[in-house]
Structure 1
Amino acid sequence: MPNGSTGRGLRSRLPLVATALTLVTTLSGCGLLGGSDDETEPQSGGDGKLEKTNLTVSIMTPTDLAPFHLAMQEGFFEDEGLTIKYVEAPSGGESVAKLASGDADISYSSYTPFFLAESQGALNGKGGVKLIADASSAGPDSCVVVALPNSKVKSIKDMAGAKVAVTARKTISDLLVMSTLKTNGVDWKSVKFESIPFPKTADALTGGQVDAAFATEPFIQDTHKRAGAVTLFDTAVGPTANIPTAGWASSGEFVEANPNTIAAFQRAMQRGTDLALSDRSLVEPLLVKFSKVDEETAKLATLLTFQSKLDPARLQRVPDLMKEFEVINTDLDVNDMIVPTAPLT
């Protein structure tokens, strides 16, 4: 995995603004930025001495890693006394598994694998799943279902019995599709979901492997350009409008042992989110660099909504929806999982 140093080029030119409204980018990559794997002596960071300065963070390829990568690029983690090594997981379930195995201190995932793991007690031996930062929510036209013009699926009413590509089962992708189908009176239980990574969605459509596919950016644009797909319907409407899609978590054991380190990570992520929200032009180069899309795709992408602070009322919608669609069979109270956001100093 490539190594590099955190940069500070944009910080002197752009003010940080309050976390609000829109943006997000689909990023991929596996790298180590800003230091070695060796533990160093704790440093002073923010409002307390850091218990751990070198963190391994699991990331993925969905559409809301811009704040993280900007925080890396601008040295916000370094400012907090943190050195970050990030590794890529192929799915949310794999990212959460890295917490359970101890291969990651902090993991990014869509929310459904976090809540699924908590409902199954996957991290009970490590104090359970603790949510430490928000990442994104679904804005209009940011999470859609696409199909080829010659597909048997011409509209949402044709979805019963269709084969549909999603990143993985029991994730936000199939949950959003099922909820939207139910809202429109379509038999969601008859849909056959196929687990296909976003980068392979266009090929799955053109190869006839699926009739339709769930996509976020830049893969909405990718399916349009490479496969000639068209958007059939938006899944972030009605009951799922603005629903939280992804976030960051650690184990209860790690949070309890490293409160100042977690607070430092939260502050760096808030600053990264503020910077990403301040100017879309800062986000588009990251799409090109980390997601390997062309500049035109980066400019056309309909972006998700960045978030950083965890809101219990918003987040509760996710496990409630998961129980409604039989992804989990227990009630979860997100208040028991949330770590309060550290204030910026």
Structure 2
Amino acid sequence: MRRILATVAVLAMLFASAACTSDGAKEEPTGAKVDVGVIAIIDVAPIYLGKEKGFFSKRGIELNLVQEQGGGPIVKGVLAGKYQFGFANVTSLMAAQSDGAPLKGVASGVASTGRAGRDFSAIVVKDGSTIRSAKDLVGKTIAVNTLKNIGDTTVRQSVRKAGGDPRTLKFEAMPFPTMNGALRSGKVDAIWVVEPQLSEAVVSGAEVLASNFVDTAPDLTVALYFTSNDTIAQSPDLVTHFTEAIKESLQYSEEHPEEVRDVVGTYTPINDTVRIGMILPNWPQDINRASLDTVAQLGREDGIFKKPPALDQLLP
């Protein structure tokens, strides 16, 4: 009988040890391989920095970051199960949600600085261009990374704010890294770029024409990290741990701008001049709901959304 009781006591101690860490907290799951769709722009620096700092691994997440051209392919990848999580601009997510896609934001992604001429996003023209204001873009061709998305919607808003007719604009889709070459060669009249490609263009002689995010809404929430409803239902703990890790990454990035500048060079090639001169965005943990209401309204006017997006269902 004593042997039985002793065995039971040992087993109880083992179970208690397995359930708790030395500080009494529950052990985090280990070895969860997670694929995340991202874009090679400054916006996603926090997730790269968070991976480097171990914010994900300490929560049992083995992070694999896969680069795509824009939010549209990432949304499709998450819906198809290619990625457990993704980073996409709010227009991509609203468009998918209004079409019935089962998606849910889990955290803020990136936000505008709110400073005209000093934002991480801008409409750019080459040096010596006859285009001197956003109003002069009427009838011109502008490069954006994907069509019918946040790029053309916010560029239209800059033109509208300057007194031009946004319906006359022509857009051409191309990857951010190729835009500066297309501008210099005259293939397009203007480009919409974000950092680090914005600083690369300026360093090569291009001129900032307008800050399209600032023209659209004060302190615009530009993008979100998101997942599918299936992932939320099947792996709620994983979603919780990923969300905690990305929020810690956002806060760390806000507090360590020089480390942000360094990490950008690990996933997209930049020189020291661009690295030092880049305009960093804001990475708040809070989502600016009022700014998203504005984007939703503009998207409806532009014909991007078939029906009004249900933001209460999309936002965390």
TM-score range, shorter chain: 0.7 to 0.9
Structure having the higher helix fraction is 2
Q: Secondary structure at the match of 1:293?
A: coil
Distance (Å, rounded) in 2 between the aligned partners of 1:331 and 1:48: 42
| Candidates 149, 161, 165, aligned match of 2:143 | 165
Alignment of 1:92 with 2:92, yes or no, is no
> Which residue number in structure 1 is paired with residue 219 of structure 2?
242
2:55, 2:245 within 8 Å by CA — same for their partners in 1?
Answer: yes
Contact 2:146 2:174 (C-alpha < 8 Å) held by counterparts: yes
Q: Supply the AA of the counterpart residue of 2:46.
A: P
Q: Which residue of 1 aligns with 2:51?
A: 72
| SS, match of residue 76 in structure 1 | coil
2:233 is aligned with what amino acid?
E
5+ unaligned residues in a row in structure 2: which ranges? 1-18
Structure 1 stretch displaced more, 311-320 or 291-300 = 311-320
Deviation at 1:244, TM superposition (A): 1.1
Change (3 A) 1:49 1:276: closer
Instruction: Note if contact 1:168-1:195 (Cα within 8 Å) is conserved in structure 2.
Output: yes
Q: CA deviation at 1:44?
A: 8.4
Structure 1 consecutive aligned stretches of length 4 or more whose deviation exceeds 6 Å: 43-49
Unpaired stretches in structure 1, ≥5 consecutive residues: 1-42, 340-345
Q: How does 1:21-36 map to 2 (within 5 A)?
A: none
Structure 1 counterpart of 2:34, one-letter code: L
Between stretches 153-162 and 43-52, larger displacement belongs to 43-52
Flag the 1:229–1:134 CA change in 2: closer, same or farther, 3 A: same
Judged with a 3 Å threshold, the aligned counterparts in structure 2 of structure 1 residues 311 and 176 are, in CA distance, closer, same or farther, namely: closer
How many residues end up aligned between the 2 structures? 291
In structure 2, the CA distance between the partners of 1:174 and 1:44, relative to structure 1 (3 Å rule), is: farther
1:94 deviates by 0.6
Structure number with larger C-alpha Rg: 2
Quote the offset at 1:157 in angstroms: 2.2
In structure 2, which of residues 110, 115, 119 is the aligned counterpart of residue 136 of structure 1? 110
Alignment of 1:151 onto 2:96: no
2:245 aligned partner:
268
State the Cα distance separating 1:116 from its structure 2 match.
0.9
Q: Which amino acid aligns with 1:206?
A: R
- TM-score normalized by the length of structure 2: 0.86
The percentage of aligned residue pairs carrying the same residue is 22
TM-score (norm 1): 0.79
Aligned Cα RMSD in Å?
Answer: 2.2
1:316 and 1:253, CA in 2 relative to 1: closer, same or farther beyond 3 A? farther
After superposition, what is the alpha-carbon deviation per residue over 1:278-319, rounded to whole angstroms, capped at 9, x for unaligned?
A: 121111111222221112211111121113344544433332
Give the equivalent residue in structure 1 for 2:209.
232
In the alignment, is the contact (CA less than 8 A) between 2:37 and 2:86 conserved in 1?
A: yes
**What is the DSSP-based 3-state SS (H/G/I as helix, E as strand, rest coil) of the residue aligned with 2:43?**
coil
Q: 1:218 aligns with which of 190, 193, 196?
A: 196
